[in-house]
Amino acid sequence: MVGYAFMGAAHSQAWRNAGAFFDLPVQPRMNVLSGRNTAAAGEVAQRFGWGDVVSDWKELLTRDDVQLVDVCTPGDTHAEISIAALESGRHVLCEKPLANSVAEAEAMVAAAEQAAAKGIRSMVGFTYRRVPAIALARQLVQQGRIGTIRHVRAQYLQDWLADPATPLSWRLQRERAGSGALGDIGAHIVDLVQYVTGRRIASVTAATQTFVHERPLPVEEGKLGGRGGEQTGQVTVDDTAAFLARLDGGVLGVFEATRFATGRKNAIRLEVNGSDGSIAFDFESMNELSYYDALDGSQTAGFRRILVTEPEHPYVGGWWPAGHLLGYEHAFTHQVVDLVGDLAAGRDPAPSFADGLQVQRVLAAVEGSAESGTWQHV
């Protein structure tokens, strides 16, 4: 694995736990972790059970004990690391968004296609697909339970940047992150809508906004930075993005991604309305799915709360008895389970790098629309 911070910890616990709860066809071995700060990486390695630590990710591609590379770094390094790993004959799991630009994502897809011809697989980590309630929502749509889809609305609401004194980080710098709320969290709702509905976004009209243009530098960079610090740096990405979308089949969508929704910590909201019913989901109640059957009589009609903890629900059978709730980290374990199963069976995992490229094209169209004030085709 390359990277050891927030996503590195989430992925590490998934690699560590997957085989303990699920019957995997092969058992992953956590052989080596790469991080530029070897002291910090070493602490993570000891905590989660990585066998070795190196400072340069390129060393991973020379080792006989590395068959898969898990990329958990900022977006500006995704293309370089993933392409090199694929060309060296290693499978790749790469965090979302796939890249910082369409051109980088296209290069990654080309490398993935060449590697696939040699049996080398790749996957992009849109982890929320593996939340059991989201997977169940997709099943209900596929079964025709809500009829012909007409509307979809999706929000990803956070508030961790609402305080202007929050220090500058790489997520607020275009050269590192590619975009702000749009790519960081908007990418997730773009993927989720397309995954649940089975429809692709065809065109968008959008607006983006940056509310805080300068932030204190972190203490380690600015010495005087942090809360109350005097040195500041420029925020070069969007703080929020909102857009309308037309999806295949005449479906109309409304999307919002922001890190300034005070009081909302990680609210991923999805609602799909069809001719025969609706489904609704909020990640802050992640074990629940709301389902409305429009064919019910008016006397009993209403949204039904489904507690998605039964053994027959997606992924849940590997965990606890019904009613014992799952959390954020479990979706990462499900991602490992699916990926390892696909690799062992010689199947191409999903979502593919091509799926990641399609999301990247939506993000680019949103930015283009926000700049031009016009509808943009994807």
Query: For position 68, what pLDDT does the model report?
Result: 98
Residue 45 per-residue DSSP state: H
The CATH class for the domain spanning 130-326 reads alpha beta
Beta carbons of 210 and 238 less than 8 angstroms apart:
yes
Query: For position 225, what pLDDT does the model report?
Result: 45
DSSP string, 329-347: THHHHHHHHHHHHHHHHTP
- Give the mean pLDDT of 350-355: 98
Distance separating alpha carbons of residues 341 and 347, to the nearest angstrom: 8
Residues 6+ apart with CB under 8 A from 122: 82, 86, 91, 92, 93, 94, 108, 112, 115, 116, 349, 352, 353
CATH label, 6-125, candidates 1.20.1260.10, 3.40.50.970, 2.60.40.4070, 3.40.50.720: 3.40.50.720
What's the half-sphere exposure (Cβ side, CA atoms, 13 Å) at 253? 35
Query: For position 10, what pLDDT does the model report?
Result: 98
* C-alpha triplet 336, 287, 258: angle, nearest 5°: 85
Distance separating alpha carbons of residues 164 and 69, to the nearest angstrom: 37
182 phi and psi angles, rounded to 5 deg: -55, -55
Using one digit for the tens of pLDDT, what is the confidence trace for 113-149?
999 999 999 999 999 999 999 999 999 999 999 999 9
Distance separating alpha carbons of residues 277 and 292, to the nearest angstrom: 5
**350: closest CA among 112, 68, 50, 74?**
112
Using one digit for the tens of pLDDT, what is the confidence trace for 171-218?
999 999 999 999 999 999 999 999 999 999 999 999 999 999 999 999
**Class of residue 4 by CB neighbours under 10 A (exposed 0-12, middle 13-18, buried 19+):** buried
- Give the mean pLDDT of 92-99: 97
- Give the mean pLDDT of 262-272: 98
Residue of 220 and 262 predicted with greater confidence: 262
pTM (predicted TM-score):
0.95
Query: For position 219, what pLDDT does the model report?
Result: 80
Query: For position 230, what pLDDT does the model report?
Result: 75
Residues 6+ apart with CB under 8 A from 301: 292, 293, 294
The rounded mean pLDDT for the chain is 96
Report helix angle 102-116 to 353-372, nearest 10. Answer: 170
For the chain, residues classed under CATH 3.30.360.10 are: 130-326
Distance separating alpha carbons of residues 378 and 361, to the nearest angstrom: 6
pLDDT range class, residue 160, cuts 50, 70, 90: very high
Determine the distance from the C-alpha atom of residue 87 to the mean position of all C-alpha atoms in its chain, rounded to a whole number.
Answer: 24
270: which 2 tokens?
């999805």
pLDDT range class, residue 224, cuts 50, 70, 90: very low
The label of the residue with tokens 């710098």 reads 173
pLDDT for residue 229 is more than 90: no
Q: Residue 143 is which amino acid?
A: Q
- Give the mean pLDDT of 289-310: 96
For the chain, residues classed under CATH 3.40.50.720 are: 6-125
- Give the mean pLDDT of 313-330: 97
| Residue percentage of the chain with pLDDT more than 90 | 97
Using one digit for the tens of pLDDT, what is the confidence trace for 7-49?
999 999 999 999 999 999 999 999 999 999 999 999 999 999 9
250 C-beta neighbours (distance < 10 Å), count:
11
Pairing of strands 240-247, 251-258: antiparallel
Beta carbons of 34 and 59 less than 8 angstroms apart:
yes
pLDDT range class, residue 220, cuts 50, 70, 90: low
Three-state secondary structure string covering 97-152 = CCCCCHHHHHHHHHHHHHHHCCCCCEEEECHHHHCHHHHHHHHHHHCCCCCCEEEE
